């Protein structure tokens, strides 16, 4: 029943592969690691019931790569697996020299032999801190060639306002969205925004993935999916984005502006929007009062003129 209520929030993910990557280095700590795992679980619970069209995979940056499980259908078993993930940062002095990257983790976890479905969009959700950002690419590392359209969502804990780094886009992703929370305790306030943010970009995928303007008029299979796609068609799409914040100014997130879920992601009307609407109402009321006052004044003058004439 609880899952059904949460699913009514309007958050809908379907036919996608989701890879969660958590910063599990020494600077995170046991308690924050637990908060982070609960955050992932809460996001998935927003999707409602078990869904075989949604595949989940999990990896940790310790800073070595630690792959917890490959793609598996969304179920209570997956949620329990995430809950049981231990906090095991690599404390070996040589860890830094063997540190992986987002590109390196994606190259392994998003490979087709790991259960990644080429016809399904890939959602990459990475959580790190403002103290240390997981690098996108290590020196001398080859950039991966994505097998599917990839939408990256980079969450920074300890950062509220989007920084210059928010303009950086992962080279192998079609879109890169920046999200932030002022601290780990505020991550819970990003559950619904992240859910809606992903949903907003998936709507764009459904519109663009079948669009002849990108893949050509005759480049579709009978199933409606484009055929013979080359990997560079998956890179850096020009999707208009909007940044939103919550009322307490403790989190921010990004949505695809053209999607139907962009407004619902905010959850409530922002203060600036409310002030603008209120100002318009007041100005409109003043105009009506002025017109009404002028009409009364004119009527009284005409009445006085008639009385004087008689």
Provide mean pLDDT across the span 185-212: 80
Rounded Cα gap, residues 79 and 18, in angstroms: 13
Q: How sure is the predictor about 147, in pLDDT bands with cuts at 50, 70 and 90?
A: confident
Pick the more confident residue, 70 or 275: 70
Q: Is the pLDDT of residue 213 over 70?
A: no
The percentage of residues in the chain with a pLDDT greater than 70, rounded to a whole number, is 78
**Strand ranges inside 105-222, DSSP E:** 122-129, 150-157, 175-181
pTM of the model: 0.75
203-212 pLDDT per residue, tens: 876 665 545 4
Q: How does residue 149 score in pLDDT terms, banded at 50, 70 and 90?
A: confident
Residue 308 banded pLDDT, cuts 50, 70, 90: low
Q: Which residues contact 231 (CB under 8 A, 6 or more apart)?
A: 145, 146, 147
**According to the model, what pLDDT value does residue 310 have?**
64
Give residue 126's pLDDT.
97
Inter-residue contact 151 to 124 (CB < 8 Å): yes
Residue 251 phi/psi, 5-degree rounding, is -140, 155
Distance CA 44, CA 56 (A): 9
Token look-up 């403002």 returns: 130
Average pLDDT over residues 10-20: 86
Long-range contacts formed by 223-232: CB under 8 A, 24+ apart: 225/119, 231/145, 231/146, 231/147
| pLDDT band (50, 70, 90) for residue 6 | very low
Reply yes or no on whether the pLDDT at 269 is more than 70: no
For 95-142, what is each residue's pLDDT tens digit?
878 899 999 999 999 987 888 787 788 999 999 998 888 999 998 899
Torsion of CA 175, 180, 185, 186, to 10 degrees: -100
Rounded alpha-carbon distances, angstroms, from residue 235 to 138, 149, 247: 19, 8, 34
């Amino acid at each position: 029943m609880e899952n059904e209520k949460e699913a009514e929030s309007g958050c809908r993910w379907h036919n996608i592969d989701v890879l969660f990557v958590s910063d599990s280095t020494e600077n995170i700590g046991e308690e924050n690691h637990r908060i982070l795992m609960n955050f992932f679980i809460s996001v998935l619970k927003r999707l409602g019931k078990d869904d075989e069209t949604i595949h989940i995979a999990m990896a940790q940056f310790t800073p070595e790569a630690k792959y917890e499980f490959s793609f598996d259908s969304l179920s209570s078993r997956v949620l329990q697996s995430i809950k049981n993930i231990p906090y095991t940062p690599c404390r070996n002095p040589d860890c830094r020299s063997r540190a992986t990257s987002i590109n390196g983790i994606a190259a392994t976890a998003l490979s087709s032999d790991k259960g990644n479905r080429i016809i399904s969009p890939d959602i990459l959700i990475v959580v790190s801190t403002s103290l240390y950002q997981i690098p996108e690419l290590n020196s001398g590392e080859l950039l991966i060639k994505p097998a599917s359209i990839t939408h990256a969502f980079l969450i920074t804990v300890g950062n509220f306002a989007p920084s210059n780094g928010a303009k950086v886009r992962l080279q192998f992703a079609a879109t890169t969205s920046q999200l932030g929370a002022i601290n780990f305790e505020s991550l819970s306030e990003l559950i619904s925004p992240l859910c809606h943010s992903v949903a907003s970009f998936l709507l764009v995928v459904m519109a663009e993935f079948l669009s002849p303007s990108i893949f050509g008029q005759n480049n579709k299979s009978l199933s409606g999916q484009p055929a013979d796609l080359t990997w560079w068609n998956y890179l850096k799409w020009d999707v208009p984005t909007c940044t939103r914040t919550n009322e307490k100014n403790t989190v921010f997130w990004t949505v695809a502006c053209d999607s139907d879920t962009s407004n619902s992601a905010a959850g409530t009307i922002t203060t600036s929007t409310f002030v603008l609407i209120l100002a318009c109402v007041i100005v409109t009321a003043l105009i009506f009062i002025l017109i009404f006052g002028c009409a009364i004044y004119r009527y009284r003058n005409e009445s006085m003129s008639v009385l004087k004439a008689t």
